[in-house]
Amino acid sequence: RGRVNLRVCSYNRFASIKKPRGRQVELQRFLGVDAGGTFTDFFYLEIGNETRVQLHKTLSTPSAPEQAILDGIAALGLDKLPKGAVLHIIHGSTVATNAALEGKLAKTAFITNYGLGDMLSLARQTRPELYTLQFPPQQDPVPEALCLETGGRLGADGCVVEPLTDAELEKLIAELQTLQPEAVAINLLFAFLDDGFEKRISEAIEAAGLPVFISRSSWVLPVYREYERGIATWLNAALGPVVHGYLSRLKAQLPDAALQIMQSNGETLPAEQAADSAVQLLLSGPAGGLTAMRYLGTQLGEDRIISFDMGGTSTDVALLSGELSITTEGQIDCYPVAVPMVDMHTIGAGGGSIARIDDGGMLQVGPQSAGAEPGPACYGRGGKLATVTDANAVLGRLLTSGTLANGLQLDKALAVEAIANLASQIGLSNEETALGIVRVANEHMAKAMRLISVNRGHDPQQFLLASFGGAGGLHVCEIAEAMQMRKAIVPVYGGVLSALGMLVANQGRQFTRTVSTLLPNTNSSLADSFAALEAQGRQQLLDEGSAPDLLQCKRSADIRYQGQSYALNIAWQDAAQAAQDFAALHSQRYGYKLEVPVEVVNLRVNVFVPRQLPGLPEYEQQICNKAETTMVYGYDAPVSVFDRLTLTVGQSVSGPAIIREYAATTYVAADWQFQVDRLGNILLERCEPILASGDASNRSGDFL
């Protein structure tokens, strides 16, 4: 793809790929935005006769999330584009997630059948912890006064058990007029079999002119299990006005931009439809990082990856084995979220996670975070509590000589002061306390990785560990050792990788239908059901302007042994193959398989338009090597410091070392070595033990 020119300018990084001379190609402009809890990341891609990459990072503005995005666009100079130029923005947002976690939801009325008004309060009657007999009561999702009951009940066979009368509709409208909610969630029994009653209620509310956001379970999640379906419908309704307000403000400030939003399943949808699908945005940001890692894995020829995205507030861990793994058993706070989302585990261990001493005198880290305001103590923005970032600064692994986003200059003295407050409580030195903070955070992340790998029958040693996010590179070697993994990678653009993921994500939807039928004698009926779902999905994407010849479909099914409560999702070719694949996956996941009938619970169809973007530019050294060292706790001699742009492709360096770059830092521990591949990825490998004779020639140089 030609030569690449990289240069660092302020807080932006540029790369260009020159194309052969010829006719002028119309410029296409794409901006990926990942709005995190601490930082908002930007990845700008400009495609024409020359391809240009530009990075930016700025502190988030939690009180007005759109402001950080507007600030970043201005800093990149994209607010002064030529008249008629279209900027395609693909945005991963934490607005829905934060609103759900903080309880900042719209006032929502919940409509269901007679006798089921307390459905969401009763939940599944499961204890938060198996052996905890007493635990604090949880607040009802919807207050009793806002739970309304009516007719329109179906049986499990789809037949009408109780009709919905005009008088009941009039009563509902009168109650809503009195309660004056901002949103209404409609969840009738077995509405996924026939949505007629739910539609009648929705149409009556609209005809009455009530200014409310309406969410129907038969549209949000048309599957069985009334509680999970009810929670998803309620969350979608309660988040709808919040998301709509945010996107309206953002669109008003960017009237000429084409705005798409990342969904929890790793695909995008137009902003105009995002408010109607607010519950689909709960993992919007983290899904971007996993999508980018799959994209990079394809370029590297690696399809078995364990990734961890460590930002300022949290860490997201996931396992990739080919395609993105999608689950319908996600959770937000204490509520199950049964809509499709990338299968990842999130913990409160980020660079801003606060360290403390508990009542028993033990050192604890997280889940509370210093966030962007005030941030870690070393940010010099008023934070006084010790964080993981402060600990890395005290240890010397995070350099304080550089400048971060927004011109932020780290102050090591403030980090030392914050750590000293803890050290005095436990009788250790500042450095020993800082090392303890890092080790506790590392163990939290390693534990999360074991949950998504070892606990599911995977051997971590057969996977590549991928670390990204602004803080990930500081912990990658030690976490790999904790997982007994020998190889790791810090991807190019690792500090803003989730923003890149927005640009490489497909535009698409997931469509679901409950069928509850036994295998294998149902091929024809299942084929008809799959075809109906595909037709529905194709029509939706065509209505949004997708080209018919670009649309693709993937089929899968939720399958279980008859009598089980939970199912596994299996890619669908035909009934016989699906049964075999289910048995194999069940054996791997749980260690056994049964000789009992196999049941298809739900059919799922993914309809999407593949994102077609050029490959990443190849890397070449841009800055001459400069000899620089620093003192790092635990080493007697100074440790080498490299600027990432001083490294050459194939250059092999043994640790300990520190690699700094815009938006991230990588700490290479002793007994590790690294080199840079053609794309600029840092490839890490644990060195072989040195022989007793002192011959170190057996150190492996075989990367990836």
What would the mean pLDDT of 500-519 be, rounded to a whole number? 90
Query: Longest Cα pair distance anywhere in the chain, in angstroms?
Result: 92
Classify strands 639-643 and 4-9 as parallel, antiparallel or unpaired.
Answer: unpaired
pLDDT band at 24 (very low <50, low <70, confident <90, very high): low
- H-helix or E-strand containing 660? strand 657-661
Place of tokens 């993992």: 283
For residues 687 and 151, the model is more confident at 151
Distance CA 357, CA 355 (A): 7
Nearest to 603 by CA among 287, 224, 194: 224
- Report DSSP letters for 682-700, one per residue: EEEEEPPPPPTT---TTS-
Predicted local distance difference test score (pLDDT) of residue 543: 87
pLDDT band at 614 (very low <50, low <70, confident <90, very high): low
What would the mean pLDDT of 352-363 be, rounded to a whole number? 91
Percentage above 90 pLDDT, the chain: 52
Predicted local distance difference test score (pLDDT) of residue 406: 62
What would the mean pLDDT of 643-665 be, rounded to a whole number? 88
Minimum mean pLDDT among 10-14, 645-649, 671-675: which range?
A: 10-14
Predicted local distance difference test score (pLDDT) of residue 25: 67
Predicted local distance difference test score (pLDDT) of residue 631: 93
Predicted confidence (pLDDT) per residue in 26-69, tens digit: 788 999 999 887 789 999 998 877 778 888 988 888 888 889 99
Q: What CA dihedral angle connects 519, 522, 528 and 531, to 10 degrees?
A: 30
CA atoms within 13 A on the CB side of 369: 21
pLDDT band at 625 (very low <50, low <70, confident <90, very high): low
Minimum mean pLDDT among 202-211, 421-430, 483-492, 619-628: which range?
A: 619-628
What would the mean pLDDT of 157-177 be, rounded to a whole number? 95
Q: How many residues does the chain have?
A: 704
Whole-angstrom CA distances from 438 to 103, 161, 479, 574 are 31, 60, 11, 49
What does the mean pLDDT of the chain come to? 86
pLDDT band at 404 (very low <50, low <70, confident <90, very high): low
Contact 202, 178 (CB under 8 A): no
Predicted local distance difference test score (pLDDT) of residue 464: 94
pLDDT(491) > 60? yes
Minimum mean pLDDT among 288-292, 323-327, 341-345, 574-578: which range?
A: 323-327
Highest mean pLDDT among 154-163, 286-295, 587-596: 154-163
Hey, how many other C-beta atoms are within 10 angstroms of the C-beta on 501? 30
Distance CA 501, CA 368 (A): 27
What would the mean pLDDT of 325-350 be, rounded to a whole number? 85
pLDDT(519) > 50? yes
Predicted confidence (pLDDT) per residue in 228-239, tens digit: 999 999 999 999
pLDDT(531) > 60? yes
pLDDT(19) > 60? no
The alpha helices in 376-473, defined as continuous H runs, are 388-395, 412-426, 430-452
pLDDT band at 213 (very low <50, low <70, confident <90, very high): very high
pLDDT(523) > 70? no
pLDDT band at 4 (very low <50, low <70, confident <90, very high): very low
Predicted local distance difference test score (pLDDT) of residue 15: 45
pLDDT band at 73 (very low <50, low <70, confident <90, very high): very high
pLDDT band at 696 (very low <50, low <70, confident <90, very high): very low
Predicted local distance difference test score (pLDDT) of residue 94: 80
Burial profile 322-331: b = 16 or more Cβ within 10 angstroms, e = fewer: eebbbbbebe
Hey, how many other C-beta atoms are within 10 angstroms of the C-beta on 587? 13
Minimum mean pLDDT among 309-313, 314-318, 601-605: which range?
A: 309-313
The alpha helices in 254-313, defined as continuous H runs, are 271-274, 284-300
What would the mean pLDDT of 560-576 be, rounded to a whole number? 90
Distance CA 120, CA 197 (A): 20
The reply to whether the predicted model has a pTM over 0.75 is yes
pLDDT band at 615 (very low <50, low <70, confident <90, very high): low
Nearest to 496 by CA among 62, 72, 177: 72
